Chain A
Amino acid sequence: MDPVVNTRTARWRSYLVAFLITALIFATALYASNYFQNQRIQDVRATEDDISTQILSTETQFDLLTQHSCSDVSENTTLPSEMTSLGSELSYLEAQGGNQDEITRLKSLYSVLEIKDYLLMQQLAQKCGLKPVFIFYFYSNKGDCADCEAQGDVLTAFSEQYPDLRVYSFDYNLQVGALQTLISLDTVQDKLPALVINGKTYYGFQSMDAIQKVLPQLATLQKSATSTTATSTKK
């Protein structure tokens, strides 16, 4: 390369070109980020559709039970691992930001699916003598729940340990009719985190030991061999 020297004249054209390129890079980064976020939203929507179809299928199966044996239905018909991993994905989407209206819609649908799954499992339990184990977990992510993150970690660890444990996590502040009805039926107050276990509501952080104590049915569930299932209990 030859030696170089030049006058110091400001190169306004180069400034402008560099500015436009930098702005273009920022715009591309924003577009790419939104693109992948939308892809995730579509993935979550597809999973919700799948779960919705499965629940509908199980409901239909349940209606047909008069003609069929309970042996066709099992406790994990609606795949709790899928439900919990969906919750985890929604949490991640929410933390990433982006289209919050769409994410809220997906969360609302998720909450409804959780409630439907719970109702269906209760019906199956009565009809077929199954013994599903439930935990309702109410959280808030408005910054007013210091212990929600730790509580979520504890429930995630339980879900990993017991793949058949059904942890239903609900955003307490979500304005969904079915959810608000559930909250009033269980008379859950806004002292979060709150857990509903065997019909009783527990407020504040509950350790693993405390939960095991009030949920002896955990011992009846099969433990995970690998404990690698991703699950959601929301921060």
Chain B
Amino acid sequence: MFVTTILTYSLLFVSLYFEIFLLVAFLERHFARRNTQSGATTLSSYPSVAIVVPCFNEEKSLGATLASLLALDYPKDRFEILVVDDGSRDNTFAIAKEFEIDARVRVFHKENGGKHTAMNLALAHTNADLIGCLDADSIVAKEALLRVVPVFGNETVAAVTPGIHVKETSNVLQHMQNVEYRLSVFNRFMLAALGSAFITPGPFSIFRASVVRKLGGWRYGHSTEDMEMALRMQSEGYLIGNAPRAVVHTSIPRTLKHLFNQRVRWTYGWLRNAVDYRHMIGNRAYGNLGVIVLPSALISIAAGIYFFFRIIFELGQAATHAFLKYQVTGALPHLAFDPFYLNTSMMWFLVWFAVALILVLVAAGSFIGTGKRNLPLGTPLFVLFYSLLVPLWLGTAVVRAIFKTGVQWR
């Protein structure tokens, strides 16, 4: 009992501490603007940019993705699109070829080998200064590239991530993910502000091509080449920036099964990459990333699983008691409100505070990403139910990472 209590409060303390740390850093930056550098927003010259669209069976969404890229505000002679069909079995290649009518588009076809191989093929076929990736289920805003490129004015910046938003919210699950993406906008922004970004997501992360070549190109990275590349860049001393107003809208899973598979892959990849880059964890040489960000990210997985089982255990106990009570008395539980019995334990106060903190962070994410502080529609559902879903894929990913089972993209 004593050990459980200590463990519970310790995990709660660490989880709260990390979120408060991010919030403190955000407020410090917001009010003082001393410790971080804002990337420049104007360009004196335009570096050449190649955007790679790796695709595997993307016939439904590829057209819209390419159309959005062609509509980007950027000098036409400084911009090219490389579509790499990674062994699709549908009409992806034919659809991509239709876009070759535009001189900026080049289409390649190869045997299926994974996203990292598609990226490397494109890298080998371009001389652009900057190379980016856009997943074939995402759409970029017209001014997105112009908001990203100036950040590369800082020579130590090796990559810049965008502000990723949800493309459509047609069901409850997608509304909840929409809130999570707002939270991610905040986290991505703050991690970049702390020099600690450790993911360069597929939707429209842009890289300095010379650095990518120097580092040896993309690797499999346990099906999360975007994490592996970011960790490798950090490991080699490069910086990753974030341009939150470079807006990208991306498709998100519609069903729990697809969401589960996607998140198991992400978490599995993160855990396996964390093992590969374990020399950075707790290492002061990597600054905030080594001292606080990576350890917190790992602890948060443990905390998520622990709290899930604890909630399940307590609900199970309550249900068992209610059942046994029904067995011996024949009486069904009835609701009666008495303020005397309101739960005012320390744990509950902390839970309420954690919920309030999440709301603040989501609002901050909205502010960073959209300029408005509105909470998305799905926020109440996110607060109530999403934390019960997350441990499902966390637990699965941990088990699979321990046994090194590997994960599939689809």
Q: Which residues in A have some Cβ–Cβ distance to B below 8 Å?
A: 1-11, 14-15, 17-19, 21-22, 25-26, 28-30, 32-33, 36-37, 40, 43, 89, 92, 96, 149-150, 153-154, 156-157, 160, 205, 207-208, 227-228, 230
**A residues less than 8 Å from B150 (CB atoms):** 3
Q: Are A2 and B349 in contact (CB under 8 A)?
A: no
Q: B67-75, B120-128, B176-184, B332-340: which one contacts chain A?
A: B332-340
Chain B residues lying within 8 Å of A11, measured Cβ to Cβ, are: 25, 35, 194, 288
- The 7 tightest CB contacts between A and B, nearest first, are A8-B287, A5-B241, A3-B39, A8-B195, A36-B344, A29-B349, A157-B329
Contact B239 A26 (CB under 8 A): no
B313 at the interface (CB under 8 A from A): no
What's the nearest-Cβ distance from chain B to residue A198, in Å? 22
Whether A37 contacts B341 by the Cβ 8 Å rule is no
Tell me if A4 and B324 are in contact (CB < 8 A). Answer: no
B350 at the interface (CB under 8 A from A): yes
In the assembled complex, the Cα of A99 lies from the Cα of B122 at a distance in Å of 69
For chain B, which range describes its interface: under 10, 10 to 19, 20 to 34, or 35 or more residues? Answer: 35 or more
Contact A32 B349 (CB under 8 A): yes
Q: For chain A, what secondary structure do more than half of its interface residues adopt (helix, strand, loop), or is it mixed?
A: helix
A230 to B333 CA separation, bound complex (whole angstroms):
12
| A208 and B328 contact, CB distance less than 8 A | yes
B46 at the interface (CB under 8 A from A): no
Q: Are A28 and B241 in contact (CB under 8 A)?
A: no
Q: Which one of B41, B154, B325 has the greatest number of beta carbons of chain A within 10 Å?
A: B325
Question: Which of B's residues lie within 8 Å of A, judged by CB?
Answer: 9, 13, 16-17, 20-21, 24-25, 28-29, 35-39, 41, 147-148, 150-151, 154, 157, 160, 189, 192-196, 234, 239-246, 284, 286-292, 321, 324-325, 328-331, 334, 336, 338, 340-342, 344-346, 348-350, 353, 367-369, 371
A-B contact pairs, 27 of them (CB 8 A): A1-B189, A1-B367, A2-B38, A3-B243, A4-B39, A5-B36, A5-B37, A5-B157, A5-B160, A5-B240, A6-B35, A6-B193, A7-B195, A8-B288, A9-B287, A10-B287, A11-B35, A14-B21, A14-B25, A15-B292, A22-B20, A25-B350, A36-B344, A92-B341, A153-B325, A207-B328, A227-B334
